[in-house]
Amino acid sequence: MDYQEILKKNIAEIEAQIKELKHLCTDKELSSLAKEEIKRLEEEKEILKKNLETSKRIGKKEETPSAESFLHRSVIMEIRAGTGGEEAALFAADLFRMYARFAEKKGWKLETLDTHISEQGGFKQVVFSIKGKDVYQNLQYESGVHRVQRVPKTESRGRIHTSAVSVYVMPEAEDVEIEIKPEDLRIDVFRSSGPGGQSVNTTDSAVRITHLPTGTVVTCQDERSQYKNKLKAMRVLKTRLLDKLRKEKQGEISRERREKIGRGDRSEKIRTYNFPQQRVTDHRINFKTNLKNILEGDLDLLVRNLCAHYQSQEKAVC
């Protein structure tokens, strides 16, 4: 079943649910709940109908590339601070440095696309690309919630805190795969801001792009040039749209992303970085290794073990 057929099937199912709920509107006790649910379903149906109308415009090719073809691609990664406030932002910066060191060891090129810096120099969010051979093959299983246990710099009593950071990895889109029409975009410009919201630029060089058919929003403010920020934002937008299309065609829509990213909550973890014990544990494969080596970018052994694990799973590729 192709993407458009999936959307049509989902719309039909929602319409059937609405029809059933309308029969409950005559019941005094259930009428209010039924009407609320009908409203929610109608909104969901409208979104699906818009996606159906614009699906041909999102991708030039009728079929997205195979899973195997993505393995050799460059990636765009997003790291976001979750539970833990300033400490989570500081750990997000640690993870960014970890991936930067790994990229350097592999001979890859890292480029920062967008950053939101916290008061103490951490990252509330950082978006970056890594270009090189087999990047996605190595980093595809880094998506998820990374938990840290350590004594924060802000802790005066020496107590160990637990914080969480979300990581998301997407194979970067190629221009020939995604066609975006100008009328489908809303582009806003604003002044770049730094920690605490203070202005760091005297011109409106930051760019926010909204893809109207899907509601996808991308911002970029790192460059002083509005044109360069727009180019970077478009790269991220195309990659997010391709990633969305790829997952929808697999019938997963947003479920997989929610499972990988979660809410940045401590309980939704794939890996724990325990500083007191100087140990990293990947909970998916119960793999334990030295913390210092991992933070220095020595991820090869962990990557190989993850690939071996997922290769044993149905339909997994490495």
Q: For the residues of 305-317, what is the DSSP string, one character each?
A: HHHHHHHTSTT--
Mean pLDDT of 77-98: 94
Is CATH 3.30.160.20 the right assignment for the domain spanning 182-234?
A: yes
Lowest mean pLDDT among 146-155, 201-210, 295-304: 201-210
The proportion of the chain whose per-residue pLDDT surpasses 70, expressed as a percent, equals: 79
Give the residue-averaged pLDDT of 21-42: 79
Q: Has residue 194 got a pLDDT over 90? A: no
- Residue whose tokens read 């997000």: 92
Q: What is the mean pLDDT of residues 126-145?
A: 94
CB proximity list for 35: less than 8 A, separation 6 or greater: 25
Q: Is the pLDDT of residue 35 over 70?
A: yes
Quick one: what percent of the chain has pLDDT higher than 90? 41
CATH architecture classification, 67-175+252-311:
2-Layer Sandwich (3.30)
Average pLDDT of the residues in 251-279: 69
The band of 221, judged by pLDDT with boundaries at 50, 70 and 90, is: confident
pLDDT score, position 127 = 95
Question: Which residue carries 């990664």 as its tokens?
Answer: 77
* pLDDT greater than 90 at residue 250: no
Query: Is residue 134 helix, strand or coil?
Result: coil
Q: Is residue 139 over pLDDT 90?
A: yes
Given a contact cutoff of 8 angstroms between Cβ atoms, the answer to whether 250 and 243 are in contact is: no
CB 275 within 8 A of CB 151: yes
pLDDT at 125: 94
pLDDT at 308: 87
Please give the mean pLDDT across all residues of the chain.
82
pLDDT of residue 242: 85
The letter for the amino acid at 270 is I
Confidence at 37, pLDDT banded by 50, 70, 90? confident
How many other C-beta atoms lie within 10 A of the C-beta of residue 43? 10
Mean pLDDT of 72-80: 93
- Do residues 263 and 84 lie in contact, with contact meaning Cβ atoms separated by under 8 Å? no
H/E segment holding residue 131: strand 123-131
From the number of C-beta atoms within 10 Å of its C-beta (0-12, 13-18, 19+), residue 1 rates as exposed
pLDDT for 59 equals: 45
Starting from the edge strand earliest in sequence, which strands make up the sheet with 271-274, in order? 109-117, 123-131, 75-81, 161-171, 144-150, 271-274, 279-282, 287-290
